[in-house]
Amino acid sequence: MKKYLMPVLCACAMPILAMGRNGDSLTIRKIADEVLTHSTAYENLRVLTKQIGGRLAGSPQMVKAEQWGVEAFKAAGADTVYLQECMVPHWVRGEKEEARIISKRRDFIPPLNILALGNSVATSPEGVTAPVIEIGSFDELEAKKDQVKGKIVFYNYHFNPRFIKTFHAYGDAVKYRSNGPSRAAKYGAVAVIVRSMSHGANNFPHTGGTHYDTAYAKIPAVAIGLEDADMLSARLKDDPSANIFLKTNCQMLQDTIGHNVIAEIKGSQHPDQYITVGGHLDSWDICEGAQDDGAGCVQTIEVLRAYKAAGIKPSRTIRFVLFANEENGARGGSKYAEVAKAKNETHILALESDAGGFTPRGFASSMSAEKKAVIQKWRPLLEPYGVYDFSEDGGGTDIGPLHRLLDTPMAELIPDSQRYFDVHHAANDVFEGVNKRELELGAVGMAGFIYLVDKYF
Amino acid sequence: MKKYLMPVLCACAMPILAMGRNGDSLTIRKIADEVLTHSTAYENLRVLTKQIGGRLAGSPQMVKAEQWGVEAFKAAGADTVYLQECMVPHWVRGEKEEARIISKRRDFIPPLNILALGNSVATSPEGVTAPVIEIGSFDELEAKKDQVKGKIVFYNYHFNPRFIKTFHAYGDAVKYRSNGPSRAAKYGAVAVIVRSMSHGANNFPHTGGTHYDTAYAKIPAVAIGLEDADMLSARLKDDPSANIFLKTNCQMLQDTIGHNVIAEIKGSQHPDQYITVGGHLDSWDICEGAQDDGAGCVQTIEVLRAYKAAGIKPSRTIRFVLFANEENGARGGSKYAEVAKAKNETHILALESDAGGFTPRGFASSMSAEKKAVIQKWRPLLEPYGVYDFSEDGGGTDIGPLHRLLDTPMAELIPDSQRYFDVHHAANDVFEGVNKRELELGAVGMAGFIYLVDKYF
């Protein structure tokens, strides 16, 4: 295209609200200019994803990523950088999983593309072979509970395309991954296959943590790619006596030592009051963890860098945290909250970026109605940067413990969500999927939001 | 990530405004459900881009694309489909362009990555070799006008990253492509090289139409990729006597016959009142034209399909138009307006989608203040679909003539713009860059908007 009407050219590069709001818009514009012209976020992400890669808790990459985080915070100009030790689970995938349809027809069927769910137990070394029962919902599971014993339960619940915000589709579907294995084990299932939580039109299986209810047997659980899920479903309709052979090699080892990586800009007036900004440093082992949550980490570092480079001196102390072990334990966030409570720290607000490095749309929050009303007044200051939606409740796995233990108000960056579940927890969550400017605009939104929190909260 | 707080699950899948607004939100929700569950837009785009590809006016692909458009409209259930003939320019690129830095140092320098600008004349068959003068702005050109004669002018004006909406950066920079050749020819330049209009961190040159002022000589003009632009700039600082050899093989042939592809849903109450919805069918020759403007074409077809499938019966006649020849002539839009004027047709509004198939953000418009106020009241009905920004003026190249000749109110879909100029008019504007759901949500926004125009305008 070429434009017929040229837009009013300087509207968005100028501090349009400056006169009316005490220079806040000027300051946010200054931060935005700093980020959009000198950001290191994209290059930081390249190093984290391409040179370190997947960094599950307990892995050698976890240690490298922590060292990287320390150096990146220092390079960004932090007043202080330190590690906060916490024990983290140490789950390993082992050799690549195997899955095959075993049919009496003996026609050729390609192997199924699967990934063990995080924290899952393995099959026995020889694998498991069993008949399959396809289950569309927990209601259907209850209705068919007498047919489950000795079988592999295949949860084929589809991501609902009618939800506009894809996180709502995820919220709707994720229970089959989290609770599906134990609910199937309750009725004697021997293993579980879960349809991946994605709209993506490809065959990447999407892993993610599962949770075993200790009341029931721990059975092996895997995710299956969408194309294979459809193929398996069609096959079972046509060939219901087909079995599946499944072999997983994962293992939960002893807890090991991980760290939250923490940097600070000391508050100029209230150094003992804290505002936390963060993402999580760990990722699943099978991907680069670029959107989940390398983006949140480099945005966090970029907020620090932009504050220092633009000469912003917050009155409260800003803590920038790369949390350990969000994906399969959330121990980093728990540790952070426990230490804050033990030290009787005063926390003003915690902000997390853990929904991808896409163009920002808004901030969700969990806090009192009075505080929410304060945040919603900031819309005119942030809408010039594409941030307009302050309607939803939200927070983040890593800052949830602080919210619960200390009643700290919490908020989360809400980026555009359409592409997130194309790559979430899958091998295609790579650096190339992140757009430099979208990533930077998220950091602009975060920096502007934190500036306003520091000043008005 | 996993979510700490689950969002209120059904909020966005439910007709939240239904009770208060006469069922409009229910109807828009019905259209959205139809698009999000049964859209053919993505598959249509795959065929247009992968089976037909680049389709510049006058090319064999133009003819194939017109046939495709007719069949796609029929498949979508149009009441009427027809072609509207118009003469279109026929510019051909010829053999791949060549460009090299010629230095006395005789060190090895890789060839420069360039593309002739659309409508440009060619160099002579043996090419042109001349010294280079780098120009940062038209002000600098005027200051250095005495140094231009006999040289190749290299406009190295950078896309400004401080603009939040990238179309503003384009509006700011595009004059060097449109007017740069003639402004340089005025002072005796022998050719022009223009830095590509992109933030993209790669070396794809971005072509686009240029316009010759008949007062001056027509000189060859090319776009250069950003990496090569930076390299050339650095080289010239260090080696100012370097020449450039440039050879282009493009040619403007006789005008030829093209067509607007038009489909209609007949109005149930006012069949002689028209609402136009469209995109442009042509694209540059060197790319698949997926974002520019395959997306707008398949969204236009999808609006038609969704109306028919959901049983929406508009009171006015909706015209769905795939315009011919936007890129290097805008003859399709001119013809459409001329015919409308000659027939004394009544046109209520024209809407164009020509800014990429990204998630929608809003609608820009050009019309009276009273009409604009009507549109802005629709925000609560469209914001559930991510459409919230009604602030800007806008329209589209293809519907501009209708606006000018008949004073028809016009509007354009405003999608998220961060990724558009990474691929605009470049070889990487391919199908793979389009996200299925983002494309569909744009069609939802367009369908909802047109529904409201038909009812309330």
- Contact yes or no for B168 and A441 at CB 8 A: no
Residues in chain B closer than 8 A to A14 (CB atoms):
none
| Residue A182 distance to chain B (closest CA, Å) | 19
* DSSP β-bridge partners for residue A322: A261, A279
Bridge pairing between strands A360-366 and A316-323: unpaired
- Contact yes or no for B400 and A438 at CB 8 A: no
Residues in chain A closer than 8 A to B437 (CB atoms):
161, 166, 199, 418-419
Residues in chain B closer than 8 A to A160 (CB atoms):
13
Name the CA dihedral angle for B263, B267, B272, B273, rounded to a multiple of 10 degrees.
-90
Instruction: Tell me which of B1, B12, B439 to substitute to probe the interface with A (most A C-beta atoms closer than 10 Å).
Output: B1
- Contact yes or no for B359 and A418 at CB 8 A: yes
Name the CA dihedral angle for A441, A442, A448, A451, rounded to a multiple of 10 degrees.
-140
| Residue B385 distance to chain A (closest CA, Å) | 6
Name the residue with higher pLDDT: A87 or A4: A87
pLDDT in tens, A298-329: 999 999 999 999 999 999 999 999 999 999 99
Query: Cis peptide leading into A238, omega within 30 of 0?
Result: no
Picking from B7, B161, B171, the nearest residue to A171 by CB comes out as B7
**Chain A residue with the nearest C-alpha to that of B438:** A418
User: What residues contact residue A217 under an 8 Å CB cut-off, 6+ apart?
Assistant: A185
Q: What is the pLDDT along chain B (457 residues), one digit of tens a residue?
A: 544 444 443 444 444 444 446 799 999 999 999 999 999 999 999 999 999 999 999 999 999 999 999 999 999 999 999 999 999 999 999 999 999 999 999 788 999 999 999 999 999 999 999 999 999 999 999 999 999 999 999 999 999 999 999 999 999 999 999 999 999 999 999 999 999 999 877 899 999 999 999 999 999 999 999 999 999 999 999 999 999 999 999 999 999 999 999 999 999 999 999 999 999 999 999 999 999 999 999 999 999 999 999 999 999 999 999 999 999 999 999 999 999 999 999 999 999 999 999 999 999 999 999 999 999 999 999 999 999 999 899 999 999 999 999 999 999 999 999 999 999 999 999 999 999 999 999 999 999 999 999 999 9
Where, residue-wise, is CATH 3.40.630.10 in chain B?
11-89+254-456
Residues in chain B closer than 8 A to A394 (CB atoms):
3, 5, 7
- Contact yes or no for B366 and A5 at CB 8 A: yes
Per-residue pLDDT band at A107 (split at 50, 70, 90): confident
* C-alpha to C-alpha distance for B186 and B217, rounded to whole angstroms: 7
| Residue A422 distance to chain B (closest CA, Å) | 9
- Contact yes or no for A437 and B166 at CB 8 A: yes
Residue-level pLDDT at A106 = 79
- Contact yes or no for A5 and B208 at CB 8 A: no
Largest CA distance in chain A: 77
Say which of B264, B326, B352, B412 is annotated catalytic.
Answer: B326
pLDDT in tens, A170-210: 999 999 999 999 999 999 999 999 999 998 778 999 999 99
| Residue B150 distance to chain A (closest CA, Å) | 31
Q: Is the pLDDT of residue A375 over 60?
A: yes
| Residue B400 distance to chain A (closest CA, Å) | 7
Residues in chain B closer than 8 A to A433 (CB atoms):
none
- Contact yes or no for B13 and A163 at CB 8 A: yes
Q: Which residues of A134-164 are buried (b: 16+ CB within 10 A; e: fewer)?
A: bbbebeebeebeeebeebbbbbbbbbbbbbb
pLDDT in tens, A319-368: 999 999 999 999 999 999 999 999 999 999 999 999 999 999 999 999 99
- DSSP letter string, B275-316: EEEEEE----TTS--IIIIIHHHHHHHHHHHHHHHHT---SE
- Contact yes or no for A209 and B2 at CB 8 A: yes
Nearest to B350 by CA among B281, B314, B403: B403
- Contact yes or no for A280 and B392 at CB 8 A: no
**Chain A residue with the nearest C-alpha to that of B434:** A419
Neighbours of A228 (CB within 10 A): 22
Give burial (CB, 10 Å; 0-12/13-18/19+) of B343. Answer: exposed
- Contact yes or no for A6 and B171 at CB 8 A: yes
| Contacts A–B by Cβ distance under 8 A | 172
Residue B120 is given by DSSP the state P
- Contact yes or no for A13 and B435 at CB 8 A: no
Residue-level pLDDT at A343 = 98
| Residue B90 distance to chain A (closest CA, Å) | 18
Question: Do the beta carbons of residue B444 and residue B363 sit within 8 Å?
Answer: no
* C-alpha to C-alpha distance for B317 and B274, rounded to whole angstroms: 5
Q: What are B216's two structure tokens?
A: 């001056």
Residues in chain A closer than 8 A to B5 (CB atoms):
366, 393-395, 400
- Contact yes or no for A209 and B293 at CB 8 A: no
* C-alpha to C-alpha distance for B146 and B132, rounded to whole angstroms: 14
User: Residue A97 in 3-state DSSP?
Assistant: coil
* C-alpha to C-alpha distance for A133 and A147, rounded to whole angstroms: 8
Residue-level pLDDT at B15 = 42
User: What residues contact residue B63 under an 8 Å CB cut-off, 6+ apart?
Assistant: none
Residue-level pLDDT at A8 = 40
Question: Do the beta carbons of residue A171 and residue B9 sit within 8 Å?
Answer: yes
Question: Do the beta carbons of residue A332 and residue A326 sit within 8 Å?
Answer: yes
∠ CA A109-A115-A120, rounded to 5°:
130
Residue-level pLDDT at A22 = 72
Complex ipTM: 0.94
- DSSP letter string, B122-153: PPPTT-EEEEEEEESSHHHHHHTGGG-TTSEE
∠ CA A352-A358-A362, rounded to 5°:
55
Where, residue-wise, is CATH 3.50.30.30 in chain B?
94-249
**Chain A residue with the nearest C-alpha to that of B171:** A6
User: What residues contact residue A373 under an 8 Å CB cut-off, 6+ apart?
Assistant: none
**Chain B residue with the nearest C-alpha to that of A14:** B163
Query: Cis peptide leading into B293, omega within 30 of 0?
Result: yes
| Residue A131 distance to chain B (closest CA, Å) | 31
Instruction: Tell me which of A4, A28, A299, A352 to substitute to probe the interface with B (most B C-beta atoms closer than 10 Å).
Output: A4
Picking from B1, B33, B208, the nearest residue to A162 by CB comes out as B33
Q: What are A261's two structure tokens?
A: 């990586």
Tell me if the domain spanning B11-89+254-456 has CATH number 3.40.50.300: no
The CATH code belonging to domain A11-90+254-456 is: 3.40.630.10
Picking from B11, B164, B384, the nearest residue to A384 by CB comes out as B164
Q: Can B345 be counted among the known catalytic residues?
A: no
**Chain A residue with the nearest C-alpha to that of B33:** A162
Angle between helices B295-310 and B436-456 (to 10 degrees): 60
- CATH number for domain B94-249, candidates 3.50.30.30, 3.40.640.10, 3.30.565.10, 2.102.10.10: 3.50.30.30
- Contact yes or no for A354 and B9 at CB 8 A: no
Residues in chain A closer than 8 A to B36 (CB atoms):
161-162
Give burial (CB, 10 Å; 0-12/13-18/19+) of A235. Answer: middle
Q: Is the pLDDT of residue A275 over 90?
A: yes
User: Residue A182 in 3-state DSSP?
Assistant: helix
Residues in chain B closer than 8 A to A164 (CB atoms):
12-13, 32, 384-386, 441
- Contact yes or no for B400 and A4 at CB 8 A: yes
| Residue A50 distance to chain B (closest CA, Å) | 17
| Residue A129 distance to chain B (closest CA, Å) | 31
Residue-level pLDDT at A21 = 63
Give burial (CB, 10 Å; 0-12/13-18/19+) of A353. Answer: buried
**Chain B residue with the nearest C-alpha to that of A382:** B164
Residues in chain B closer than 8 A to A402 (CB atoms):
none
- Contact yes or no for B3 and A436 at CB 8 A: no
Angle between helices A295-310 and A436-456 (to 10 degrees): 60
Q: Is the pLDDT of residue A10 over 80?
A: no
- Contact yes or no for A164 and B293 at CB 8 A: no
Residue B111, Ramachandran bin (φ over 0: left; ψ between -120 and 50: alpha; else beta): beta
B428-432 long-range contacts, Cβ below 8 Å, gap at least 24? B428/B202, B428/B204, B428/B287, B429/B283, B429/B284, B429/B287, B429/B288, B429/B289, B429/B290, B429/B291, B429/B292, B430/B49, B430/B287, B430/B288, B430/B290, B431/B45, B431/B46, B431/B49, B431/B50, B431/B288, B431/B290, B431/B294, B432/B290
Residues in chain B closer than 8 A to A355 (CB atoms):
1
Where, residue-wise, is CATH 3.40.630.10 in chain A?
11-90+254-456
pLDDT in tens, A378-419: 999 999 999 999 989 999 999 999 999 999 999 999 999 999
**Chain A residue with the nearest C-alpha to that of B294:** A1
Nearest to B441 by CA among A166, A159, A168: A166
Picking from B12, B164, B208, the nearest residue to A163 by CB comes out as B12
User: What residues contact residue B309 under an 8 Å CB cut-off, 6+ apart?
Assistant: B34, B38, B77
- Contact yes or no for B167 and A7 at CB 8 A: yes
